[in-house]
């Protein structure tokens, strides 16, 4: 193997290990283990109450053709994401359930001790957030919002086959929240839009009050 190939391989491994969120099939809570397929009640028994819970619904319609006929099947998915904080010596854990069963476990940033720690200079929080951040990361960087506007919408995602025929419809129930921050007359208002627990937009308004 050439030296340049070795360097490329090392860089690729580094990116996989350190930059991509770690997706695990099991999580240790004390001396007990939860794993993919566990029910929510089993996770509660072993890990206790989560710090945050997000929930939404997806309805999947699949169209299949056979001998000139089309058949449609409908599948409903009820999704929940539980956030666990085990303190500053461990990383945040995000547990995703589908229809009441643990589907996957994602490792986040380092956790915290006690209450959610907001940054001392929260006026800069809009610049520190990224699209895709979770709600708990918004709370850490910005604190509790001054106002929350919450609504639930249904959206349809149409997918087409190679002949440009619709072969799959995914109806997604989206919980949309707009968090408004007022840091006083010397700072700009901040508007953070969150969908199903993820930041989708960050906007700045006029001066606060």
What average pLDDT does the chain have?
82
Residue 60 token pair: 């999947």
* DSSP 8-class letter at 134: B
* DSSP 8-class letter at 209: -
Of the two residues 45 and 157, the one the predictor is more confident about is 45
Residue 155 pLDDT class (50, 70, 90 cuts): confident
* DSSP 8-class letter at 205: E
Residue 3 pLDDT class (50, 70, 90 cuts): low
Q: What percent of the chain clears pLDDT 90, i.e. is strictly above it?
A: 50
Report pLDDT for 9.
46
**Average pLDDT of the residues in 153-164:** 73
Report pLDDT for 83.
96
d(CA 60, CA 82) in angstroms, rounded, equals: 23
* DSSP 8-class letter at 16: I
Of the two residues 58 and 101, the one the predictor is more confident about is 101
**Average pLDDT of the residues in 86-95:** 93
Whole-model pTM?
0.73
Report pLDDT for 64.
63
**Average pLDDT of the residues in 82-92:** 93
Q: Cα 105–111–117 angle (5° rounding)?
A: 135
Residue 15: how many CB atoms within 10 A of its CB?
A: 10
Report pLDDT for 58.
82
**Average pLDDT of the residues in 107-136:** 84
């Amino acid at each position: 193997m050439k030296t340049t190939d070795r360097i490329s391989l090392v860089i690729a491994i580094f990116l996989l290990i350190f930059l991509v969120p770690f997706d695990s099939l099991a999580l240790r809570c004390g001396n007990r283990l939860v794993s993919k397929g566990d029910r929510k009640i089993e996770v509660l028994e072993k890990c206790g109450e989560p710090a945050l819970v997000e929930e939404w619904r997806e309805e999947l319609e699949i169209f299949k053709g056979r001998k000139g006929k089309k058949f449609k099947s409908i599948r409903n998915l009820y999704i929940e994401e539980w956030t666990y904080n085990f303190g500053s010596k461990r990383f945040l854990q995000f547990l995703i359930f589908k229809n009441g069963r643990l589907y996957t476990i994602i490792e986040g940033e380092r956790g915290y001790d006690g209450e959610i720690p907001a940054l001392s200079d929260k006026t800069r929080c809009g610049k520190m957030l990224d699209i895709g951040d979770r709600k708990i990361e918004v709370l850490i960087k910005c604190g509790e919002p001054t106002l929350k506007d919450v609504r639930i919408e249904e959206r349809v995602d149409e997918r087409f086959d190679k002949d440009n025929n619709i072969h799959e419809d995914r109806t997604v129930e989206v919980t949309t929240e707009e968090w408004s921050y007022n840091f006083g007359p010397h700072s700009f208002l901040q508007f953070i839009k969150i969908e199903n627990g993820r930041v989708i937009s960050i906007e700045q308004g006029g001066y606060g009050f």
